[in-house]
Structure 1
Amino acid sequence: MRKILAILCFVGSHSIFAQPSADSLASAKTARPKPVPEKNELKYNLNESGSHFFKVTFLNQTWLRLNQSNPGTTVVGDAKDQTFDIGLRRTRIQLFGQLNDRVLVYFQFGMNNFNFLNASPAFNTTGTVSNRKVQAFFHDALAEYLVFKDRDYLKIGGGLTIVNGLSRFSQPGVSSILSMDVPVFAQATVDQTDEFARKLSLYARGQVGRFDYRVAISDPFPIQTNGAAPPALGPNANFALKGHTKQFQGLLLYQFFDKESNQTPGYMTGTYLGKKKIVNLEAGFISQRNAVWHTGATATDTVYQNLNLWSVAAFLDMPVNRAKGSAVSAYLGYFNLDYGKNYLRYNGIMNPASGTTQSVGGLGGTQGNAFPMFGTGSVIYSQVGYLFRQDLLGSNGTLMPYAQAQLGNYDRVNRSMGVYNVGLNWLIKGHNSKITLDYQNRPYYIALPATGQLDAQGRRGQLVLQYQVFI
């Protein structure tokens, strides 16, 4: 009997302790679900694996700028020694997708260089009608076919595209650039015979082993359609107003370590922020027959010349300390540029000035922040940046200082031209939320009466604060 009572007591006590309490039942009912991982892209999967998808991105770069004006600068008719302006350097929407195993489509829509002077086609003081609301346009619109399934050996595409030759900076992925802005001289025909570096092209690209290549046949736009009055035929070369020939271009890279992304057509990453180990050598070219003209022995004698541009460069972007997230990025390139006899063109990025009272050798657009950006001769371009550890500022991100230099030796300029930038990136959330402070120092020129050659007379500076948001 005692044994039976002992067994009953043991069973009862066990059932009491095994019974869940009311509190534990309540907490189980109110338990929170596991948190859903935070999304960092706007992407719609077209199949279960996500290999077929459609994706949307948004980019906006806002500038606050203080600029020391080139001599003679005027702004809406008033002389200005310096200017302060607010502008949108780039506002873009990308839409692209892998529709099936072989077909990719890519579109980009947006606008560039939109400040208080911006209008269409350009600001003017002559009373000609213009419209500041006509600005956004399609930058890219193309389709691409993967020839060998599951292999990046060969992709054939066509449409309006930035797939270019010459260099990686001729087709930059602007959301990920190291410095505040790209070296625009590398977009060699920008807004002359292309649409903001894009051309109507048939191209092939791919990766075979450690080689990355792209070649294209492009159909250039006539310079008469770029929205500005074309320069008159004269003794110095300019893009020809007669004739139309195709443009041929190509770029070849050898990748020593990690391979760069080959997904989106053309666009090449500025810096991977230590997420890849990249060491590349590259060589590229652009060529077009009878692209430019100038007068010969007499004013009625027209001479046509070919456009021939080529470059060689090295690019490095790799982690320094993977555990801390520090990294280094660097680029060094040599550009040999033949636009024809004494070709020279000024350009000022989102120029804050509308005119000038001082002519520089008959060249246009010399006011504001402009300098001789494009010309027959050669350019050495370099940039370097260092990414500090990822937790440098705690939850507020990290810093990445940089420096860049463009050294131009142009036939029409008396001495080497140096344009220098130093800056600091505050990477709040990588490239998705980034503040950049950039200072640029550039030369200004006069034309010597006897020869028409440009001679440096001094230097000017520009300070820009940029905020970039990229989704």
Structure 2
Amino acid sequence: MKKAFLFVACVLTIQQYVNAQDTTQVSHSASPSVASKEKDALKFNLNENGSHFFQVTFLNQTWVRWNQSNPGTMVDGMAKSNTFDIGLRRTRIQMFGQITDNVFVYFQFGQNNFNSQYNYNSSGGLNRKNAPFFHDAVGEYKATKGNQLKLGGGLTIVNGLSRFSQPSVSSIMTLDVPVFAQATVDQTDQFSRKLSIYARGQIGKFDYRVAISDPFPVLSNGSTASKPTANATFAQKGHSHQFQSYLMYQFFEHESHTTPGYMTGTYLGKKKIFNLAAGIITQPDAMWYAESNGDTTYTKMLLWSVESFLDMPLNKSKGTALSAYAGFFSTNYGPNYLRFNGSMNPATSSNATNAISGAGGTYGNAFPMFGTGKVFYSQLGYLLPTSLLGEKHGQLMPYATWMHASYDRLNGKPMDVIDIGLNWLIKGHNSKLSLDYQNRPTYQTDSNGNVQTGDRKGTVLMQYQIFI
């Protein structure tokens, strides 16, 4: 409790600084998905009327977390039934601008998941200071007078599957994004970014994007080379390109089309948005597995989704708003593909003898996040009236999310992850304190190798976000 008190005290101190800047909220991806004027923005006009400009922004998300460990969890060689850790979920610097009437550039530099176990290696040899890297480096040309067609290329998060495959992390409603929608994260991409060429635009009420991506070899993510097994994994031989497309129909206001890719999490009642969308990613020979006779078979990866997004004011005079999302995902990575993942995992290894093999680290806070099967994901949030805390003290926004997956390798065992949380929007998304409780399943295998459901585990997490 003493640690929590000190943390909150620091938050309140930073809040006073942010309030003193009188900075109006802007939603970025950290990305500038919503354009609005800021009194003290780090913005440099390149012409007299400001239509050509270059801007710099900063984002930092600090996590303080208590976690019930999955069975067999080890931290630095010691068994741990629970953990307490402090870390930086995301630290980012953005640099972007409209250089000419037709040319837009976007760069993002930073790091992710930096806690005490970052780059841990029990045998040594890794360096915790090798964290920051370029997330994005994109150049884009506007081929029409309006937003009908923009052509771009570079290292980019422009994606085909879902709005949460290209999220504006500074503006998300929940404490963290549903990472499963970033389907190949850190396997054949660089934290969801890929080397791509793309076209995107808005024609009437339709918003579209199509991309051809050149994936990274899976072995360049630090994986150890291994032979294919009966369960599909990313192929370690051969190379093929990835094809993506996303189409959205906008019933009310149009979402911003300023930056390449990034899609806003919530507008906090500033816009009236209702969209229906569908997306797809496919890549031939992306996966491999071993047949019963030992032959290696290559198979395509095919992922698609349909989704709806609602974000609108309810009572403008009271400041209330509603945000809701529902999406269905079909994820075919090949026979019995399964991958555990835990965001900024506080643990380092496992001594469990009955863990599911070949599915990544099952320790710490990990759960089966990716797999061949079907996924339903939904979230709902309500922005409470400004009068509740008073206009000078921000607003509260409770929310809930539910991820339900049916993965082939879990043999019919459902995979449900539930989050409930509360945002204190001290200064919109610019200064935000979030508290979240997550409840997740655990799994193990019996003596015959069949998957069994274990005890459910929980995580309590506090995040402070500052965005300038």
Q: TM-score, normalised by structure 1?
A: 0.90
Match of 1:413 in 2: 410
For the pair 1:462 / 2:456, whether they are aligned, the reply is: no
Distance 1:314 1:223, change over 3 A: same
Match of 2:331 in 1: 337
Following TM superposition, by how much is the alpha carbon of 1:39 offset from its aligned partner in structure 2, in angstroms? 1.1
Equivalent position SS for 1:384: strand
Contact 1:231 1:238 in 2 (8 A): no
Match of 2:250 in 1: 255
Following TM superposition, by how much is the alpha carbon of 1:47 offset from its aligned partner in structure 2, in angstroms? 1.7
Q: Percent same amino acid at aligned positions?
A: 63
Match of 1:246 in 2: 241
Q: Distance in 2 between matches of 1:421 and 1:328?
A: 18
Q: Distance in 2 between matches of 1:371 and 1:238?
A: 17
Q: Distance in 2 between matches of 1:179 and 1:338?
A: 27
Q: Distance in 1 between matches of 2:303 and 2:169?
A: 23
What does 1:104-183 align with in structure 2 at a 5 Å threshold? 104-119=104-119, 123-125=120-122, 127-149=123-145, 151-183=146-178
The runs of 5 or more residues in structure 1 that have no matched partner are: 1-34
Q: Name the amino acid aligned to 1:277.
A: K
Q: Name the amino acid aligned to 1:140.
A: D
Following TM superposition, by how much is the alpha carbon of 1:44 offset from its aligned partner in structure 2, in angstroms? 1.2
Contact 2:356 2:443 in 1 (8 A): no
Farther off after superposition, 392-401 or 179-188: 392-401
Following TM superposition, by how much is the alpha carbon of 1:40 offset from its aligned partner in structure 2, in angstroms? 4.8
Q: Distance in 2 between matches of 1:333 and 1:416?
A: 17
Following TM superposition, by how much is the alpha carbon of 1:38 offset from its aligned partner in structure 2, in angstroms? 7.0
Match of 2:62 in 1: 62
Farther off after superposition, 75-84 or 357-366: 357-366
Q: Distance in 2 between matches of 1:230 and 1:128?
A: 20
Q: Name the amino acid aligned to 2:153.
A: G
Distance 1:169 1:237, change over 3 A: same
Match of 1:428 in 2: 426
What does 1:6-25 align with in structure 2 at a 5 Å threshold? none
Contact 1:412 1:453 in 2 (8 A): no
Match of 2:6 in 1: none
Equivalent position SS for 1:44: strand
Match of 1:25 in 2: none
Distance 1:443 1:231, change over 3 A: farther
Contact 2:102 2:141 in 1 (8 A): yes
Following TM superposition, by how much is the alpha carbon of 1:323 offset from its aligned partner in structure 2, in angstroms? 1.4
Q: Deviations over 1:22-48 (max 9, x none)?
A: xxxxxxxxxxxxx99971522111122
Contact 1:248 1:287 in 2 (8 A): yes
- Alignment partner of 2:265 out of 267, 270, 273: 270
Q: Deviations over 1:406-465 (max 9, x none)?
A: 000000113111000000000000000000000000000012343x44221110000000
Q: Deviations over 1:215-235 (max 9, x none)?
A: 100000000000232554101
- Alignment partner of 1:398 out of 386, 395, 399: 395
Match of 2:207 in 1: 212
Match of 2:346 in 1: 352
Following TM superposition, by how much is the alpha carbon of 1:391 offset from its aligned partner in structure 2, in angstroms? 3.7
Q: Distance in 2 between matches of 1:391 and 1:285?
A: 43
Q: Distance in 1 between matches of 2:386 and 2:241?
A: 47
Asked which structure has the greater CA Rg, the reply is 1
Q: Distance in 1 between matches of 2:316 and 2:46?
A: 35
Match of 1:8 in 2: none
Q: Name the amino acid aligned to 1:177.
A: I
Match of 1:377 in 2: 373
Q: Distance in 2 between matches of 1:152 and 1:449?
A: 59
Following TM superposition, by how much is the alpha carbon of 1:390 offset from its aligned partner in structure 2, in angstroms? 2.6
Q: Distance in 1 between matches of 2:195 and 2:451?
A: 35
Following TM superposition, by how much is the alpha carbon of 1:361 offset from its aligned partner in structure 2, in angstroms? 2.4
What does 1:315-334 align with in structure 2 at a 5 Å threshold? 315-334=309-328
Q: Distance in 1 between matches of 2:282 and 2:362?
A: 27
For the pair 1:443 / 2:437, whether they are aligned, the reply is: no
Distance 1:231 1:277, change over 3 A: farther
Q: RCO (CA 8 Å, sep 6+): is it higher in 1 or 2? A: 2
For the pair 1:196 / 2:194, whether they are aligned, the reply is: no
Contact 2:157 2:193 in 1 (8 A): yes
Q: Distance in 2 between matches of 1:358 and 1:199?
A: 35
Equivalent position SS for 1:58: strand
Equivalent position SS for 1:169: helix
Q: Deviations over 1:43-70 (max 9, x none)?
A: 1111222211111110000000000000
Following TM superposition, by how much is the alpha carbon of 1:325 offset from its aligned partner in structure 2, in angstroms? 1.3
Equivalent position SS for 1:175: helix
Contact 2:69 2:365 in 1 (8 A): yes
Farther off after superposition, 404-413 or 225-234: 225-234
Contact 2:230 2:292 in 1 (8 A): no
Contact 1:145 1:157 in 2 (8 A): yes
What does 1:286-325 align with in structure 2 at a 5 Å threshold? 286-299=281-294, 301-325=295-319
Distance 1:38 1:335, change over 3 A: closer
Moved over 4 A (4+): 35-38
Q: Distance in 2 between matches of 1:338 and 1:386?
A: 34
Equivalent position SS for 2:253: coil
Q: TM-score, normalised by structure 2?
A: 0.90
What does 1:80-91 align with in structure 2 at a 5 Å threshold? 80-91=80-91
Q: Name the amino acid aligned to 2:121.
A: N
Match of 1:3 in 2: none
Q: Name the amino acid aligned to 1:443.
A: P
